[in-house]
Structure 1
Amino acid sequence: MVTAERLDLALLRDDEGNSVRITVLGPLQGVAGGLSAEIVVDTPFVAGRVALSLWRSRLTEWGEALDRLGAGEDIAWLHVQRGPAVHIHLNGERDCPEVVVEDVLVSMTTVRVPIDLPSDWIATHRGMLAAVLDAWDGHLSPE
């Protein structure tokens, strides 16, 4: 049985109180090899959360998205699949990175959060991804 604790896959936040967090909560009930997760948006203006299901392929895609961000490209993660999507624009409307969370399927809501990220945030997130994969490797299906 997997006993790993909740782990953050992403924690994008700044000193202004804006944050977007993706947390792995544990095994996905009723689905072998999947993980239950949530996306939490918290700002001084708006707060919300949406459930997210993760598989090894989605975690691999997150790693590829981090590589593209490191190369200076904007990303859209999970944008062609059912459920919420996360977009990261390195140069948003407020002259800083912004994270856009879309939940088109359930709430039909989109939230755009400007976040002044530290210079090492991509390396930090690569480490978070590695920690999630290390903790849950035995549970995740090979695909």
Structure 2
Amino acid sequence: MGDAASRELISLADDEGNSVTVDVLGRTPGWSAGLDAEIVVRTPFVSGRIGLVLSASKLESWGTGLTRLDAGEDVVWMEWDRGPSIFIQLTGERGCPEVVVEDESGSMVTVRVPLVPPDDWIADHRQRLREVMEHWVPVPSTQ
């Protein structure tokens, strides 16, 4: 497995130049179970990034979110947590899917990014999640 593939947990983009990614940067210093990551938003109008820390439980909840998205439900990932939240709305305000990144507890900024992901995006993101989990999440010892 390539290191680059294991680092990009979420990558949603369209042909209009809109994208939202979540990149795993490495282990959190001082907490072996934490992963430093960042959400990166890019559009022709606005771009930005915000750091966050991922844990195994947050990664597992992303897996649950992918199952719900596959069933046609909207998802909120990391809501009510310290730090940013990601909302994925399958039919947004403009009649197409939208990714909303909200940083209510920090900058108090919300960015809404309309985009149409490719047809196989959920399967692709399940594979990305597996790769991140295999690469970064330690296997519990059986002692």
- 2:130 match: 130
2 CA distance for matches of 1:31 and 1:60?
18
Partner secondary structure for residue 113 of structure 2? strand
- Residues 33 and 137, structure 2, Cα contact 8 Å, conserved in 1: no
- Residues 34 and 139, structure 1, Cα contact 8 Å, conserved in 2: no
Question: Residue type of the partner of 1:78?
Answer: M
The aligned runs of 1:69-80 (5 Å cut-off) are: 69-80=69-80
Question: Residue type of the partner of 1:91?
Answer: T
- Residues 36 and 51, structure 2, Cα contact 8 Å, conserved in 1: yes
Partner secondary structure for residue 33 of structure 1? strand
User: What displacement does 1:139 show?
Assistant: 7.6
- Residues 21 and 40, structure 2, Cα contact 8 Å, conserved in 1: yes
Identity between Structure 1 and Structure 2 (%): 53
Q: Which runs of 5+ in 1 are unaligned?
A: none
Question: Residue type of the partner of 2:10?
Answer: A
Q: Which runs of 5+ in 2 are unaligned?
A: none
Partner secondary structure for residue 34 of structure 1? strand
2 CA distance for matches of 1:109 and 1:78?
16
- 2:100 match: 100
User: What displacement does 1:32 show?
Assistant: 2.5
Compute the TM-score of the two structures, normalised by the length of structure 2: 0.92
- Residues 33 and 139, structure 1, Cα contact 8 Å, conserved in 2: no
- Residues 86 and 100, structure 2, Cα contact 8 Å, conserved in 1: yes
Deviation digits for residues 43-71 of structure 1 (CA, Å, limit 9, x no counterpart):
00000000010000000000000000000
1 CA distance for matches of 2:34 and 2:12?
24
Q: Which runs of 4+ in 1 moved over 3 A?
A: none
